[in-house]
Structure 1
């Protein structure tokens, strides 16, 4: 089971938790398990085509999964996923 660190903006969707555990052998399965357990996160994490929303960054043990194998990146027991929504703005 992987640990998923939840950013403050998504915490209301997971009952206020900072971290949750989720099953899966790859990043996509872990995130889909998270979305299954906490349905409000589905549209926040995934686009209509099932891919990650373009403004959601996911790191596996401090490495951006987009430069690894994306949603197919293998996840082992004890790995940590960090979800970081992209921020924009400024003047």
Structure 2
């Protein structure tokens, strides 16, 4: 973890906002740098149902949830091990099936 702290903004899709008190934008205090997994751990602690909708029992992001850090898909980076710094934005998008 880095030494300078700050916040990371997490943008939540409408379909998941019902599990975050209808908040579509969450601000998470971070100690400089952290990982996507650690950031999601904080959110899961504060919003347990949200946490279960985003990650499976093993802690992996569910296949129907896409996660972008400053516009880059974390699957093309280091997955949930991707480093996150204060000032960055994490966007979660949940696929919705329909027919």
TM-score for the superposition, normalised by structure 1? 0.91
CA–CA distance in structure 2, aligned partners of residues 82 and 19 of structure 1: 9
Q: How far apart are 1:48 and its partner, in Å?
A: 1.4
Whether 2:17 is the aligned partner of 1:8: answer no
Structure 1 residue ranges, 4+ long, deviating more than 4 angstroms after superposition = none
- 1:49-88 deviations in Å (ceiling 9; x for gaps): 1111111100000000000000010101110000001233
Please report the RMSD computed on the Cα atoms of aligned residues, expressed in angstroms.
1.2
TM-score for the superposition, normalised by structure 2? 0.84
Task: Report SS of the residue matched to 2:43.
Answer: helix
More helix by share: 1
More strand by share: 2
